[in-house]
Structure 1
Amino acid sequence: MNAWLQAGAVLITGLGLVAAAAAWRLTHSVRAALAVLLDFLTAAGLLRLAGEPSWDSTIVAAAVIALRKLLGASLHLSSANRTTPGGARPLSPGR
């Protein structure tokens, strides 16, 4: 792999850890921090694929993307089922 791409992927991974910590600190939400971290890890994985595409790097990148999609759908569903402080469900926009 090109040394510049390797260094860029490591830098993006490190920045992802910092950004995830900042997201957790600002929102106090592990879900938001995890979403930010997975976005950065996806970017690092795709950058690694630009260097020397191999089956191992392709599988790792695909796994991170699949995990991000799965967690994104899970976050969307959990926010849709969230209740208001009084215990009542919020009205949907169509109602």
Structure 2
Amino acid sequence: MTGTLLPQAALWVTVLGIGAAALAALRLRRVRPAVTLLSDYLLAAGLIHLSGRASWAALALAAGTAALRVTLDLDLRALAVHRRESDAPPRD
């Protein structure tokens, strides 16, 4: 039973994460919270997948998802700071 339950759970977490991220993007009209939410769900799906089948490929998938989440968050944060600085009125 566990052989089919955990991959299905990981798939459902992924689908729910895509839906939650889409709803967050529509509701908030901002990309950063939606991408953060989606990457959290994808990381959770990767960890569920890893718990079912501990292999090097599953570990690499979870580690890659975590690295992608951190990279996206840093890039979106830097982009927000750059936009904020470029929108500020010039100082005299």
Q: Is TM > 0.5 for Structure 1 vs Structure 2?
A: yes
The residue aligned with 1:31 is: 32
* 3-state SS, counterpart of residue 16 of structure 1: helix
**Deviation at residue 86 of structure 1 after TM alignment:** 6.2
**Which structure: greater helix fraction?**
2
- TM-score, length basis structure 1: 0.79
Of the structure 1 ranges 53-62 and 8-17, higher mean CA displacement relative to structure 2 is found in 53-62
Question: How do 1:4-43 residues align onto structure 2 when only pairs under 5 Å count?
Answer: 4-43=5-44
TM-score, normalised on structure 2?
Answer: 0.81
Unpaired runs of at least 5, structure 2: none
Alignment: residue pair count:
89
**Given the alignment of the two structures, is residue 61 of structure 1 paired with residue 62 of structure 2, yes or no?**
yes
Which runs of no fewer than 5 residues in structure 1 stay unpaired? 90-95
1:4-55 per-residue CA deviation (whole Å, 9 max, x = no partner) reads: 2111101100100110110111112223222111110000000000011111
Alpha-carbon distance in 2 for matches of 1:78, 1:32: 13
What percent of counterpart residues are identical? 35
Q: CA RMSD in A?
A: 2.1
The residue number in structure 1 matching 2:80 is 79
Equivalent residue, structure 2, for 1:92? none
- Separation (CA, whole Å) in 2 of partners of 1:9 and 1:35: 18
- 2:64 partner amino acid: A
What amino acid does structure 2 have at the position aligned with 1:39?
Answer: D
